[in-house]
């Protein structure tokens, strides 16, 4: 068995992300045939599948004994389980709807977990050439620039980022609307949406926004980005204020614990 090195895992993640990013760039100017998944806003394309196959093959060549959780393989019926074993968590294209429409917030996401804790994260936007990455204990970076999350603690002075759920059922939309309304009425300075949960969290890491909350996630949407926030001295937690649960499909992130808890206090998970 190959000796485990987080530096090697980070290097492999970056290599995989950049090669998958090249596939995205090649397909970006072509007509894209999208297959609908769970709703009219949840797609998969041939490029999603090609990127995941590329990443999985390269990881298996280096670490054949490691587990892999991938968005596209899970869509085929693979059960999502996060164990103590070394596990790679892959979203080949976060923001597939953006990709289909040519909106430039698209990311390849690769996270690496040991004992259910994310140790390495890479989020790469090949269109904007933004490479976010982090390794436990080594800081977080955007290309060559070290990241520092916002120091904002006051919700009324914050800029937030969030997403509407892929689930378009009326109660889910009502919940999302209630949360957007709650924060705008508080008020905060504003709320933005990129269409990519991973890039939302990276914006928290770089301090461009102060906080974020997102419901309806899957583990591959936020595993890689979560350690980027943490290594930028930000905070990632569950909406209850406890530790983040990567199988709970929800996350709160902020530059400070005070702001993260303020977000948790106002969030609702059922329509008001």
Q: Which of 45, 87, 96, 97 is catalytic?
A: 96
CA pair distance 63, 9, nearest whole angstrom: 10
Single pTM value for the model: 0.92
Q: Which of 71, 200, 206, 210 is catalytic?
A: 71
CA nearest neighbour of 88 among 65, 45, 189 = 65
What pLDDT, on the 0 to 100 scale, is given for residue 165? 72
- Does 48 participate in catalysis according to the annotation? no
pLDDT tens digits for range 237-249: 999 999 999 998 8
What pLDDT, on the 0 to 100 scale, is given for residue 272? 42
Alpha helices in the chain (DSSP H): 6-28, 46-62, 71-75, 96-101, 170-185, 197-206, 219-231, 257-266
Coil/strand/helix, residue 113: strand
What pLDDT, on the 0 to 100 scale, is given for residue 268? 87
Domain positions in the chain are: 6-146, 155-266
**Is pLDDT above 70 for 47?**
yes
Residues 269 and 262: beta-carbon distance below 8 Å: no
What pLDDT, on the 0 to 100 scale, is given for residue 75? 59
pLDDT tens digits for range 118-165: 999 999 999 999 999 999 999 999 999 999 999 999 999 999 999 987
- Does 154 participate in catalysis according to the annotation? no
What pLDDT, on the 0 to 100 scale, is given for residue 258? 98
**Is pLDDT above 60 for 36?**
no
- Does 71 participate in catalysis according to the annotation? yes
Residues 214 and 200: beta-carbon distance below 8 Å: yes
Residues 71 and 218: beta-carbon distance below 8 Å: yes
SS3 assignment for 162-226: ECCCCCCCHHHHHHHHHHHHHHHHCCCCEEECCCCHHHHHHHHHHCCCCEEEEECCCHHHHHHHH
What does the mean pLDDT of the chain come to?
A: 91
**Is pLDDT above 50 for 40?**
no
pLDDT tens digits for range 185-239: 888 999 999 999 999 999 999 999 999 999 988 999 999 999 999 999 999 999 9
Q: What is the CATH architecture of 155-266?
A: 3-Layer(aba) Sandwich (3.40)
Q: Which of 194, 221, 227, 256 is catalytic?
A: 221
Q: Which residue has the tokens 């808890």?
A: 261
**Is pLDDT above 50 for 271?**
no
Residues 182 and 263: beta-carbon distance below 8 Å: no
Interacting residues of 113 by C-beta distance below 8 A, sequence separation 6+: 82, 86, 87, 88, 89, 119, 223
What pLDDT, on the 0 to 100 scale, is given for residue 2? 59
Q: Which of 72, 94, 163, 210 is catalytic?
A: 94
- Does 96 participate in catalysis according to the annotation? yes
Q: What is the CATH architecture of 6-146?
A: 2-Layer Sandwich (3.30)
- Does 91 participate in catalysis according to the annotation? yes
Our measurement of the distance from residue 198's CA atom to the centroid of its chain's CA atoms, rounded to an integer in Å, reads 2
Residues 114 and 11: beta-carbon distance below 8 Å: no
- Does 93 participate in catalysis according to the annotation? yes
For 116, list phi and psi in degrees, rounded to 5: 65, 15
Q: Check for a shared fold between 6-146 and 155-266.
A: no
Percent residues over pLDDT 70 in the chain: 91
Q: What is the mean pLDDT of residues 72-81?
A: 70
Q: Which of 72, 91, 200, 231 is catalytic?
A: 91
Residue 145 has what DSSP assignment?
A: E
């Amino acid at each position: 068995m190959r000796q485990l090195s987080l530096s090697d895992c980070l290097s492999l993640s970056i290599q995989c992300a950049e090669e998958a990013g090249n596939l995205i760039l090649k397909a970006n100017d072509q007509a894209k045939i999208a297959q609908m998944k769970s709703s009219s806003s949840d797609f998969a394309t041939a490029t999603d599948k090609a990127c995941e196959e590329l990443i999985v093959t390269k990881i298996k060549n280096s670490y054949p004994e490691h587990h892999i959780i991938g968005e596209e393989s899970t869509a085929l019926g693979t059960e999502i389980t996060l164990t103590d074993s070394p596990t790679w968590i892959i979203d080949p294209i976060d923001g597939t709807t953006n990709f289909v429409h040519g909106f430039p917030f698209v990311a390849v996401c690769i996270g690496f977990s040991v004992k259910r804790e994310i140790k390495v994260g890479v989020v790469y936007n090949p269109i904007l050439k933004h490479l976010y990455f982090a390794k436990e204990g080594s800081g977080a970076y955007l290309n060559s620039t070290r990241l520092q999350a916002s120091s904002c603690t006051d919700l009324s002075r914050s800029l937030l980022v969030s997403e509407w759920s892929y689930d378009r059922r009326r109660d889910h939309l009502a919940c999302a609307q209630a949360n957007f309304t709650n924060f705008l009425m508080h008020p905060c300075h504003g709320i933005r949406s990129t269409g990519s949960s991973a890039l939302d969290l990276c914006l928290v890491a770089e301090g461009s926004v102060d906080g974020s909350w997102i419901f309806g996630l899957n583990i591959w949407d936020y595993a890689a980005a979560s350690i980027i926030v943490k290594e930028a001295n930000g905070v990632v937690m569950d909406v209850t204020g406890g530790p983040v649960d990567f199988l709970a499909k929800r996350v709160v992130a902020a530059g400070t614990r005070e702001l993260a808890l303020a977000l948790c206090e106002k969030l609702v998970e059922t329509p008001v």
